[in-house]
Amino acid sequence: MRISSSRPSSRSAPSERTSTPSPLRRGSTTEAARRPPEQAVAFIQAFHERLSLPPERLEEKKVLMRESASSFFRTMPALFHEDLRGPWQDASRLLDRPAPRMLVVGDMHIGNLGTVRGPEGKAVWGLNDFDQAAPGSPEVDLTRLAVSAALTAREAGLGAKAQAKAVEALAKAYFREVERLAGGGENPGAFVSKKEAKGKVDDLIAEAQHASPEELLKKYVRTDARGQFRFQSSDTLRPVPAETQKALRAALVPYETGLRGAGGIARPLEVLDWVQRLDAGGSSYGLDRYYALVRAKEPGAPPVMLELKELLAPSLEQPPVPADGAHVVKNQAGFGSNFNPLTGATTVGGRAFLVRELEPEKAKLDEKALRGEKELLSAFTQAGVVLARAHGSTQARAASLEKWVGEDAKEATRRLVSFASGYADQVRADWGGFREVK
């Protein structure tokens, strides 16, 4: 929900319904949880009406949602959260006892994992999106990641056995890593390093390590007749009107005040140019996103690109809370993933924005990279490790998770496999219903 940081706007939450957790009914099945896809279509329509995106951006988002069941799933975390409060609540319970309440990612899927600049400036593979993070049950993240595994396997043409193995692999890795962390094992943060990485993840980190600011600038920036750096214009990069530039410059003032360090940029900030990015994001597609080209600290060094990303408010909590960039930054640090000193927050026109460096290291696994069972199992095993490190960011949190699971990891895994398969069926049915609506 696109909500003002101080008051609800037309971009507020579409749902007013609240609920409290109920005990898992023994024998509860995913078949009993299934609801008509028409309900999802109605939810999405109401969501988009209250989001109030520009008509052309909304149409583009709908095209993105129609591409595949996975794309549909990624763009609507609010629908998933609504289902966990409603018909899928019992089926999402992995154990009969309640899970500990903690900070969770909220929008956990394979597309929200990728290479980023980690400690000491080295590329790592881990969490890269914290917009939906909020207090909740770890089951929210485990079930959403498991559905992502099932959908990815299906779209790779793999059968039910391979889908189940992918979910089992992430669960086994998650519970094993939780046990290690609860025992006092070191937690580097919500990522895996090059030294730990395997398969396609290892390849992606290797590529990211060789990425350079100069290569990133070539994609977006040119020099004008006077040798000044300027953003290129294209179908997806649009010049920013002078009045909007003025508002954006004003928004950088509180951002700069809150910076933890220089991060290689000149202070005070000197913006060389602005551009609006039109085709980025999944769940946040269509919200405002701007790039600022700022002067580097060292004379002669290439300029640095900052991204100002409008935030979609988290939909996990009920009643819904407004989007808040400062909370996103705090949550990122809470997962042990805030390594770039240029990460910060601001508001523009009463709307919340995250500000961060557009890192040349940032990349995601290409969908074609996970077409085989071996690659799928490897990626989701490593995703399970990353998620465990996020949830168990302190030994106390890891210990609470270990206590919750106890000797029942096999039962939790069995239920996770069942949920992933059943909800993947729900997603495909919802996607089919959505595609039929003109």
Do 36 and 178 lie in a common domain?
A: yes
Q: Average of pLDDT values for 249-256?
A: 96
Longest dimension (CA), the chain: 73
Do 348 and 377 lie in a common domain?
A: no
Do 190 and 250 lie in a common domain?
A: no
pLDDT band at 308 (very low <50, low <70, confident <90, very high): very high
Mean pLDDT computed over every residue of the chain: 92
Does residue 275 lie in a domain region?
yes
Do 310 and 422 lie in a common domain?
A: no
pTM of the model: 0.92
Query: Is it the case that residue 403 has pLDDT exceeding 80?
Result: yes
Give the containing element (helix H, strand E) for 167: helix 160-182
Tell me the per-residue pLDDT of 89-109, one tens digit each, with 9 for 90 and over.
999 999 999 999 999 999 999
Does residue 94 lie in a domain region?
yes
pLDDT in the model for residue 8: 34
pLDDT in the model for residue 2: 55
Query: Is it the case that residue 16 has pLDDT exceeding 70?
Result: no
**Can you give the residue range of the structural domain that contains 152?**
31-208+367-436
Q: Average of pLDDT values for 104-126?
A: 96
Evaluate the omega torsion of the peptide bond into residue 319 and state whether it is cis, within 30 degrees of 0: yes
pLDDT band at 225 (very low <50, low <70, confident <90, very high): confident
Does residue 236 lie in a domain region?
yes
Does residue 384 lie in a domain region?
yes
Q: Average of pLDDT values for 357-374?
A: 92
Query: Is it the case that residue 21 has pLDDT exceeding 70?
Result: no
pLDDT in the model for residue 408: 98
- Contact indicator for 200, 186 with CB cutoff of 8 Å: no
Q: Average of pLDDT values for 24-34?
A: 67
Percent of the chain with pLDDT over 70: 94
> Can you say how many angstroms the Cα of residue 204 is from the centroid of all Cα atoms in its chain?
18
| Domain boundary residue, one of 337, 357, 377 | 357
- Please state, in angstroms and rounded to a whole number, the distance separating the CA atoms of residues 239 and 128: 27
Query: Is it the case that residue 406 has pLDDT exceeding 60?
Result: yes
Q: Who has greater pLDDT, 3 or 62?
A: 62
- Contact indicator for 416, 94 with CB cutoff of 8 Å: yes
pLDDT in the model for residue 366: 83
pLDDT in the model for residue 120: 86
pLDDT band at 339 (very low <50, low <70, confident <90, very high): confident
Contacts (Cβ under 8 Å, ≥6 apart) of 345: 255, 258, 324, 325, 326, 328, 329, 352, 353, 354, 355
Q: Average of pLDDT values for 365-376?
A: 90
pLDDT in the model for residue 227: 85
Do 73 and 164 lie in a common domain?
A: yes
Total domains in the chain come to: 2
Does residue 8 lie in a domain region?
no
Does residue 17 lie in a domain region?
no
CB atoms within 10 A of CB 26: 7
Do 45 and 117 lie in a common domain?
A: yes
The residues pairing with 231 across neighbouring beta strands, listed in sequence order, are 221
pLDDT in the model for residue 263: 76
Q: Average of pLDDT values for 401-412?
A: 98
Does residue 246 lie in a domain region?
yes
Query: Is it the case that residue 351 has pLDDT exceeding 50?
Result: yes
Do 97 and 146 lie in a common domain?
A: yes
- Contact indicator for 385, 174 with CB cutoff of 8 Å: yes
Query: Is it the case that residue 45 has pLDDT exceeding 80?
Result: yes
Query: Is it the case that residue 210 has pLDDT exceeding 80?
Result: yes
Query: Is it the case that residue 36 has pLDDT exceeding 90?
Result: yes
| Domain boundary residue, one of 323, 357, 391 | 357
Q: What is the CA radius of gyration of the chain?
A: 21
| Domain boundary residue, one of 357, 377, 392 | 357
pLDDT band at 427 (very low <50, low <70, confident <90, very high): very high
Do 170 and 56 lie in a common domain?
A: yes
Q: Write out the two tokens for 124.
A: 């790592």
**DSSP string computed for 264-327:** TB-SS--EEEEEEE-S--STTTTS-EEEEEE-BSSTTSPPEEEEEEEPPPP-SSSS-----HHH
The residues pairing with 290 across neighbouring beta strands, listed in sequence order, are 276, 308
pLDDT band at 369 (very low <50, low <70, confident <90, very high): confident
Q: Helix, strand or coil for residue 363?
A: strand
Do 180 and 248 lie in a common domain?
A: no
pLDDT band at 261 (very low <50, low <70, confident <90, very high): confident
Do 47 and 122 lie in a common domain?
A: yes
Does residue 26 lie in a domain region?
no
Do 280 and 421 lie in a common domain?
A: no
pLDDT band at 28 (very low <50, low <70, confident <90, very high): low
pLDDT in the model for residue 6: 36
Query: Is it the case that residue 400 has pLDDT exceeding 90?
Result: yes
Q: Write out the two tokens for 290.
A: 């701007």
Do 338 and 263 lie in a common domain?
A: yes
